Structure 1
């Protein structure tokens, strides 16, 4: 017999067709063994888990938390047309009330963002959502303006923390080729919260049958509305506390390989339940831990100063040479969109009410005069339901913009969508004071709603992708703080000038949107970038 051609599989010499089949079997087995032994990076491990049921459930849970934040912020704008009489608010007081929420968000955004980078995303989400819900619920019992103001400030501290941390947490479960689309889908739930707040206001506030006497206080329907608006935050905190894992990216950065593997295994199980396979990875590539030195302090003052410096450390890092230009540009954009968007959005229900009373456009229906005189002369009852109906329509107008970003974010990238949206938002705002009828004003407001939401969604994606894991929540917290400063200024300026010259405010908002769009042209392109 002659010697037949053989197949060398590294173990033995096999021959013939049977040898070829056995060789292929050994090679596949060796490849599976090698894949388990090889240490995978975060992006590689996420790809191994697949994409499916886990990510869909995560989207719904994080989306509900995002919607709860929207409800808690925007509920104040819907209660102003009636609460202003019960709390004896002038127009300036209404500006300070809306500003107090954003002041709390400014403080909470930075505080919770730093803690999320130090202690983990999941536990900080639970705490911030609880603070949000508890303060929001208690504020419904406030009998004086200053009490309501302080409690809404406390609620703002909770909201300010949960918004940036939710997006950091959610993005750190996503494969990079789907991250833009999924983060855009998460941002869509802000619209859902807006619609929920508008719908609740439409259903609850005009209903005088819901008013009742609670001790010495008359519990009006708007107070019940405020209490109901705290339910989403409290229920979301409960869900995160009972069933949600920590971010695997954070766990890897913290050196907790076993914990990160368990999260990946959980993701793999839910995404591949129809197969009998187990997660084919046993090791992860853990980045080297930063060296830290143990310090001893001579006094409590030294320890306190060290804590302050540690808290300010993220600001120093995002302004380091490598990130300085990007951080300054993002700061300008966050300021521009927040000043313009919240300066108008929080006042839409009040403007619509004045249009309903006086007729004409948003600006022509506003009389010149003192705020105190307006507070005395304006009547809040009976509640005009058309105000809440129109608020609901404007909130629902976000839908086309959200669908647009979900479909095109991964295709076009966040930078292009951000710049285009800011420019178009500025143009749409300019026409708000040019229209002459209420219907036209409502249409322009809906157009502004649909276009501006594209900028917010794009900014959510870009902000996540430009910073490393150990700075991601902190950076978003810093920019959230800048955003809240702009929101505070926007609401105070609007409250002070809305009775004097509405046109000046509208023109100012349009110009600020244009400035943000120009700044966005200097941002780097982040489409499909790997999370660092």
Structure 2
């Protein structure tokens, strides 16, 4: 028999139904935004007579239980992660056809694939910093909206430079949602389930990859998707771009209307009453259908962080100079590279650079490389005169086999994701990260060595299945190595480093894929090997508590 819902229960549900109706004592701005809780520390409306029982964050998460709330959260955050994958990877599926309509050279294609990473580099740290200061949920809503809106508008761009610009702005949005979504998700998870659940969240990248590949296979080769829109020749690949923007827009709406703020962030901000309401909501959904009563408690909030936020609010009222803002924005980086986090930060910079250069440098070019394999029948580097032949032939009719192979490679992520979920909590992220990078390096080297199309496809699938283990492990390790006040900033910074590497990887491929295809492929193999060896220097974080 389901539990009845009284007035207080309804109040607890409001974070999933839109803007909270907050107590006036919690307000510090005209628009109702909660800046800090004015009540004395340890006293809250929800705690009632049990205010003497104060729990830490980890204890409160355990009290809230594990169940329906966390599975719904996984779906919501997973869809956001998948939407980022769709927006990033859709560009790679455009290359075999859009290069004709936009008159692209190989160098232009390198710039196009790099543009979204340049935007992600610009947006990554900025959004991460804002998420640590203003809240995870707000940043996710705005960044996902920017991603979807400008990604969709790119479909109407008649010129290459405008298409490039809109993809860049879309990348700024992607740069915010990727690091923040993992911080947000991890801060709801009980310690003993965190590794497996973050790995499960990371599998939605595979879902986005498969969705992008499937849409490309279904839409781009179809002649019915071609029509005229004024002076614009709206080819099927433009419809594909529009469809790829839908996941981001729908995800932004989902977070805006239904999702609560991270309780860990609320505790660090001193917003005890709001944090308890989120824990109450988690408890009610997790114990739905039982007669369990919510255990009343107060929380150990971060009074230092509360004072910093109060001081920030008073300074904002007076107005800050640009120099002060820049110093504040760069402070998390200074903290990351000093004290106990210095060594791990240096190691993660190297790993993020190596894996991003290798993975995105190769992955974004897979459809184009397979288009060349389709024509040569062997290795993507087998025929150096092939590019000039390709440039003289039409992109239409579209070769469906190229998109079918892209779909197969995307689907080969599945075994790696399942493997990661099953053993992440028992093995830990460090070992998985190192081993998967080394195996990925070997598979890329063999892609260069083999001489047949079937062998290239098989090794590409191995690379796809193994490299996803490295990304999943990196997602887990990255969230567990830094405290709450640095977590989103750190992930934003490292993903920014990764975007620099992705830009360089795509530019290098664009410059050398015609003249000397061997160089970029061997560079990818060497960098992945380097990242795998350096990963051994990281501390083990298996089932660690979030600080």
Q: Tell me the TM-score normalised to structure 1 length.
A: 0.91
Distance in 1, matches of 2:170 and 2:257, equals 22
- Identify the residue that residue 361 of structure 1 maps to in structure 2: 379
Distance in 2, matches of 1:433 and 1:307, equals 48
- Identify the residue that residue 444 of structure 1 maps to in structure 2: 459
- Identify the residue that residue 8 of structure 1 maps to in structure 2: none
Counterparts of 1:170-181 in structure 2, within 5 Å, are: 170-181=185-196
Alpha-carbon deviations, 1:323-360, whole Å to 9, x = none? 11110000000000000000000000000011111221
SS at the partner of 1:230?
Answer: helix
Aligned: 1:338 with 2:356: yes
Shift of 1:379: 2.2
- Identify the residue that residue 403 of structure 1 maps to in structure 2: 418
- Identify the residue that residue 40 of structure 1 maps to in structure 2: 55
Aligned: 1:56 with 2:71: yes
Q: Which of 440, 460, 474 lines up with 1:425 in the alignment?
A: 440
- Identify the residue that residue 326 of structure 2 maps to in structure 1: 308
Q: Which of 514, 519, 527 lines up with 2:529 in the alignment?
A: 514
Aligned: 1:463 with 2:478: yes
- Identify the residue that residue 11 of structure 1 maps to in structure 2: none
- Identify the residue that residue 92 of structure 1 maps to in structure 2: 107
- Identify the residue that residue 8 of structure 2 maps to in structure 1: none
Larger deviation, residues 278-287 vs 148-157? 278-287
Distance in 2, matches of 1:37 and 1:440, equals 66
Distance in 2, matches of 1:437 and 1:118, equals 53
Assess if the C-alpha contact under 8 Å between 1:361 and 1:438 holds in 2: yes
Alpha-carbon deviations, 1:479-523, whole Å to 9, x = none? 010000000000000110011111222111111111101110100
SS at the partner of 1:174?
Answer: coil
Q: Which of 230, 235, 243 lines up with 2:250 in the alignment?
A: 235
Aligned: 1:209 with 2:227: no
Distance in 2, matches of 1:114 and 1:374, equals 48
SS at the partner of 1:218?
Answer: strand
Counterparts of 1:164-313 in structure 2, within 5 Å, are: 164-290=179-305, 291-292=307-308, 303-313=321-331
Distance in 1, matches of 2:389 and 2:119, equals 28
- The higher radius of gyration belongs to 1
Shift of 1:367: 2.5
The alpha-carbon distance between structure 1 residues 151 and 375, as it changes in their structure 2 partners (threshold 3 A), is farther
- Identify the residue that residue 19 of structure 1 maps to in structure 2: none
Distance in 1, matches of 2:366 and 2:236, equals 20
Distance in 1, matches of 2:183 and 2:508, equals 32
Alpha-carbon deviations, 1:85-130, whole Å to 9, x = none? 0000000000000111100000111110000000000010000000
Assess if the C-alpha contact under 8 Å between 2:50 and 2:298 holds in 1: no
Shift of 1:34: 9.7
Aligned: 1:67 with 2:82: yes
Shift of 1:132: 0.1
Assess if the C-alpha contact under 8 Å between 1:265 and 1:279 holds in 2: yes
Aligned: 1:81 with 2:96: yes
Assess if the C-alpha contact under 8 Å between 2:337 and 2:345 holds in 1: yes
- Identify the residue that residue 519 of structure 2 maps to in structure 1: 504
Alpha-carbon deviations, 1:118-153, whole Å to 9, x = none? 000001000000000000000000000000000000
SS at the partner of 2:340?
Answer: coil
Distance in 1, matches of 2:402 and 2:145, equals 31
Distance in 2, matches of 1:418 and 1:99, equals 25
SS at the partner of 1:183?
Answer: helix
The alpha-carbon distance between structure 1 residues 401 and 456, as it changes in their structure 2 partners (threshold 3 A), is same
Assess if the C-alpha contact under 8 Å between 1:329 and 1:520 holds in 2: yes
Unaligned runs of 5+ in 2: 1-46
Q: CA RMSD in A?
A: 1.8
- Identify the residue that residue 404 of structure 2 maps to in structure 1: 389
Assess if the C-alpha contact under 8 Å between 1:136 and 1:230 holds in 2: yes
SS at the partner of 2:233?
Answer: strand
Shift of 1:365: 3.6
- Identify the residue that residue 4 of structure 2 maps to in structure 1: none
Distance in 2, matches of 1:498 and 1:247, equals 45
Distance in 1, matches of 2:261 and 2:359, equals 33
Distance in 1, matches of 2:424 and 2:299, equals 30
Shift of 1:376: 4.2
- Identify the residue that residue 335 of structure 2 maps to in structure 1: 317
Assess if the C-alpha contact under 8 Å between 1:368 and 1:500 holds in 2: no
Alpha-carbon deviations, 1:74-93, whole Å to 9, x = none? 00000110000000000000
Alpha-carbon deviations, 1:446-501, whole Å to 9, x = none? 00000000000000000000000011000000001000000000000011001111
- Identify the residue that residue 20 of structure 1 maps to in structure 2: none
Unaligned runs of 5+ in 1: 1-31
Distance in 1, matches of 2:204 and 2:239, equals 23
Distance in 2, matches of 1:379 and 1:491, equals 24
- Identify the residue that residue 345 of structure 2 maps to in structure 1: 327
Assess if the C-alpha contact under 8 Å between 2:443 and 2:462 holds in 1: yes
- Identify the residue that residue 416 of structure 1 maps to in structure 2: 431
The alpha-carbon distance between structure 1 residues 508 and 264, as it changes in their structure 2 partners (threshold 3 A), is same
Distance in 1, matches of 2:407 and 2:79, equals 19
Q: Tell me the TM-score normalised to structure 2 length.
A: 0.88
- Identify the residue that residue 129 of structure 2 maps to in structure 1: 114
Distance in 1, matches of 2:333 and 2:384, equals 42
Assess if the C-alpha contact under 8 Å between 1:136 and 1:152 holds in 2: yes
SS at the partner of 2:156?
Answer: coil
